[in-house]
Copies of this chain bind each other. A is one copy, B any other.
């Protein structure tokens, strides 16, 4: 008998057995004054989940339930909670806590707090409990990382916005995507499709840059103004020095990745922002690639609470629809879905649904 409250969820036991999901009970943190207890309704499947359970990023704490694109209903709230009401439909993303006291936290940069706690696989310092993700019955989260969801957005479409959506949205707004600006989106996967949807919603001219033309029709259907395929001869020559921002969702930046060709697209002092977090050795950056236009290479980590609320409002106002394939939650379906995602066999995001059939209504 654990001294902690327990939830249940689908856990992976080790990186070697990442395709096997087991329905286990696990401890959850003591209910704090600012906590919200959420009964989960659905949860998106993120590339981070796969990087984690396969050991690609290293450092995972097993057994572990992943999933950090959580939508559910607030069952009860702690006595100091002011941001969420019981009964409200809410979301939880990839982060579940930060100190809220440091300069970063006070400056809408809580995703860069040195004390941040991830939604799964992190250790609560006070209790030692390891956080568990959204392929579970419930989640218990500090109210600051619990976001009310506008009524007009269905849960299964809201879910993937909580990580993939915000990860694409934040660097767009932080770097001025809007009318009169030309934005490039490298890679059309889960992240990329949100980058296109939000860049367009913000009013920017939006181009997708992909290896082949295979996703061109989808890109146009999402609203992209143009499409460049890097396999084409001289693919970048009509667009040199013309982009104001490139959001890269590329999952691999090693051998064969033509960084120079992409960077040459940027106007003077404009930015290449990576939102994928590739495994492996990193990318080789030559000084000459940066000097030609004084461009900048950066990366971005999630987005602030303020941006999360703005993103949902924009999605509601503009009727943005995530491209989602729903999959009923089960051990078998998690296994299949994880393997399909590993093979990039998704257009463009999975949401696990039908939680009531596993955990009851």
Which residues of the other chain, B, contact A114 by a CB distance below 8 angstroms?
240-241
Looking at the assembled complex, report how far the CB atom of A176 sits from the nearest CB atom of chain B, in whole angstroms: 13
List residues 291-319 of chain A with CB under 8 A from any CB of chain B: 291-301
Shortest Cβ distance from A108 into B: residue: B268
Q: A235-268 vs B: 1/0 string, CB under 8 Å?
A: 0000011000000000001000000000000011
Which residues of the other chain, B, contact A277 by a CB distance below 8 angstroms?
287-288, 291
Counted per complex, copies of this chain come to 2
Given known A-B contacts A282-B285, A283-B285, A285-B282, A112 and B294 have beta carbons under 8 A apart: yes
B282–A291 touching, CB < 8 Å: no
How many residues in A have their beta carbons less than 8 Å from beta carbons of B?
Answer: 39
Which residues of the other chain, B, contact A112 by a CB distance below 8 angstroms?
241, 268, 292-294
Which residues of the other chain, B, contact A298 by a CB distance below 8 angstroms?
269, 290, 294-297
21 cross-chain CB contacts under 8 A: A104-B241, A107-B268, A109-B268, A112-B241, A112-B292, A112-B294, A114-B240, A269-B298, A274-B287, A277-B291, A278-B287, A281-B286, A282-B285, A284-B285, A294-B301, A295-B298, A296-B296, A296-B297, A296-B298, A297-B297, A297-B298
Chain A residues in the interface with B (C-beta under 8 A): 103-104, 107, 109, 112, 114, 174, 240-241, 253, 267-269, 271, 274, 276-278, 281-301
